[in-house]
């Protein structure tokens, strides 16, 4: 059995780590360089950096900040937000990123996924999907959760897999920041029907939520932010808890 991964997420705005609820009500959560170094030391399996306003502000990711964070890491580092083309990816990989997350640009130009997978390898390409449950089903949102699309989440997830994505980062906008638990149903649906790993994001608030997302949601990895940033659940405590409940984790 592959070890389940625990992934802290640095949501970045104006060079600082922030966190919101349902993609709004943003508050400051700490220095990203210090947080990244601390998470690597605590035993996080990977780190994700998302520049949450880059797409809506139509600019690239903060490359120098990525470079500074990467200096302090010895774990895989995924960077997203404002990635628009292969040149953006090359710059971020040169700055120390191991994987790149694309969302808005991939929805606007699905061929980008194929191009990036061909040039850099599928293992480098993470497609982030921000999803919200509506009367029309589970709908994909872009521009940092501001703009609904005509894409149904399950269909889009299958399409990006076929185009060469190596992993999906699935964030439930309904659950984001609520601390009421992950979106288990759609996480399980994607995890059971796709041949690539699914990272569940949005809703972590208790140790039991991680058991649920791995056992009931069938996720390969779980991403969280505020519970780690504000010291509510230390990563070593979480990993020991998962192990004691029969899940394979790297200690």
Ramachandran class of 181: left when φ > 0, alpha when ψ lies in -120 to 50, beta otherwise = left
Q: Is residue 118 part of a domain?
A: yes
Count of domains for the chain: 1
pLDDT digits (tens, 9 = 90+) for 19-37: 555 544 455 557 889 999 9
Q: Is the pLDDT of residue 7 over 90?
A: yes
pLDDT tier for residue 41 given thresholds of 50, 70 and 90: very high
pLDDT digits (tens, 9 = 90+) for 199-212: 999 999 999 999 99
Q: Is residue 186 part of a domain?
A: yes
> Using CA atoms, how far apart are residues 95 and 126, in angstroms rounded to an integer?
17
Q: Which domain holds residue 118?
A: 5-244
CA-nearest of 6, 76, 13, 66 to 225 is 6
Active site residues: 11, 130
* CATH code, 221: 3.20.20.70
Q: Is residue 249 part of a domain?
A: no
Q: Is residue 251 part of a domain?
A: no
Average pLDDT taken over every residue of the chain: 92
Q: Is residue 174 part of a domain?
A: yes
């Amino acid at each position: 059995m592959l070890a389940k991964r625990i992934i802290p997420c640095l949501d970045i705005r104006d060079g600082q780590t922030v966190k919101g609820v349902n993609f709004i009500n943003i508050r400051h959560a700490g220095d990203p360089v210090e947080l990244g170094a601390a998470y690597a030391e605590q035993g996080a399996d990977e780190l994700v950096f998302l520049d949450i306003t880059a797409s809506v502000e139509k600019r690239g990711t903060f490359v120098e900040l990525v470079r500074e964070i990467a200096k302090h890491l010895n774990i895989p580092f995924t960077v997203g937000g404002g990635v628009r083309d292969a040149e953006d990816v090359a710059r971020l990989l040169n700055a120390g990123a191991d994987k790149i997350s694309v969302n808005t640009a991939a929805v606007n130009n699905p061929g980008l996924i194929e191009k990036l997978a061909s040039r850099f390898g599928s293992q480098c390409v993470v497609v982030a999907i921000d999803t919200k449950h509506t009367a029309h089903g589970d709908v994909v949102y872009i521009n940092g959760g501001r703009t609904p699309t005509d894409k149904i989440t399950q269909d889009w997830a299958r399409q990006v897999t076929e185009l060469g994505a190596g992993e999906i980062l699935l964030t439930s906008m309904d659950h984001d920041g609520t601390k009421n638990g992950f979106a288990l149903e759609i996480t399980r649906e994607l995890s059971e029907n796709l041949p690539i790993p699914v990272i569940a994001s949005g809703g972590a608030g208790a140790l039991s939520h991680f058991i649920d997302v791995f056992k009931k949601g069938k996720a390969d990895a779980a991403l969280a932010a505020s519970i780690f940033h504000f010291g509510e659940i230390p990563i070593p405590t979480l990993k020991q808890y998962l192990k004691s409940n029969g899940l394979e984790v790297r200690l």
